């Protein structure tokens, strides 16, 4: 499918929101990923998410991209890559998507840009069943790295949703955040739970291990930087 870069906006020091408008409507299940090729640059795999404020538009696809130092694509966003540049998007892939029609408790764990997928799944699950029990664990390297704090606040306002924002380090105490290994905040799982994990491979592997031990169904999607992303 073809389209164009519609908008680029900084979300945090190293996180950028990219919106691509497509020529046709593209149906993407929450938690899937697509391959994006922006004209003049190598293709990259990104996970679509939903906007926090704007209404969902199936002809505008939103991505959260972490900028990598000297990255061939990510560091060009907002510079050499701007609105209007042509892009192509592959058909959606990946098995870590939300299964509709279920009421099992969801345990959603993310680190960094993995929260884009968690927010997409939580948003869709609550639209389908506002009473579904959900646990969200969002890890970041520091407070500023929790780039969608407003989404966490919105989720925390739901009586059936528990939110654990976890940061790995801090110069001073943070009253609203926990400083610890995010696995510490995993609830006691049962075989009825459904777990989704997105982000750093070590975190995703740890979550999957906990789920396996409990016999819970787990959909894991490690986020790995493209092999050629960093230039020499």
pLDDT in tens, the chain (232 residues): 999 999 999 988 889 999 999 988 888 999 999 999 999 999 999 999 998 876 778 889 999 998 888 889 999 999 999 999 999 999 999 999 999 999 999 999 999 889 999 999 999 999 999 999 999 999 987 777 778 888 999 999 999 999 999 887 654 444 445 556 788 899 999 999 999 999 999 999 999 999 999 999 999 998 876 544 443 3
Question: SS3 letters for the chain?
Answer: CEEEEEEEEEEECCEEEEEEEECCCCCCCCCCEEEEEECCCCCEEECEECCCCCCCCCCEEEEEEECCCCECCHHHECCCECCCCEEEECCCECCCCCCCCCCCCEEEEEEHHHHHHHHHHHHHHHHHCCCCCEEEEEEECCHHHCCCHHHHHHHHCCCCEEEEEEECCCCCCCCCCEECCHHHHCCCCCCCCEEEEEECHHHHHHHHHHHHHHCCEEEEEECCCCCCCECC
pLDDT for 51:
87
Can you give the pTM of this predicted structure? 0.89
Query: Residue 216's pLDDT is what?
Result: 98
């Amino acid at each position: 499918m073809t389209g164009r870069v519609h908008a680029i906006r900084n979300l945090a020091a190293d996180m950028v929101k990219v919106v691509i408008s497509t020529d046709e409507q593209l149906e993407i299940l929450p938690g899937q990923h697509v391959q994006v090729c922006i004209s003049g640059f190598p293709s990259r795999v990104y996970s679509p998410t939903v906007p926090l404020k704007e209404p969902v538009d199936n002809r505008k696809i939103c991505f959260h991209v972490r900028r990598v130092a000297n990255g061939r694509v990510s560091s060009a966003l907002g510079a050499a890559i701007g609105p209007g540049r042509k892009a192509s998007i592959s058909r959606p892939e990946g098995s870590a998507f939300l299964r509709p029609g279920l009421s099992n408790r969801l345990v959603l764990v993310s680190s960094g840009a993995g929260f884009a997928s968690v927010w997409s799944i939580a948003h869709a699950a609550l639209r389908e069943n506002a009473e579904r029990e959900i646990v969200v664990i969002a890890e970041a390297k520091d407070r500023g790295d929790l780039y969608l704090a407003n989404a966490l606040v919105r989720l925390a306002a739901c009586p059936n949703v528990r939110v654990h924002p976890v940061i790995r380090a801090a110069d001073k105490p943070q009253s609203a955040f926990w400083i610890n290994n995010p696995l510490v905040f995993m609830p006691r799982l049962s075989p009825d739970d459904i777990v989704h994990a997105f982000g750093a491979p070590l975190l995703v592997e740890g979550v999957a291990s906990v789920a396996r031990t409990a016999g819970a169904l787990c959909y894991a999607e490690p986020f790995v930087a493209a092999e050629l992303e960093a230039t020499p």
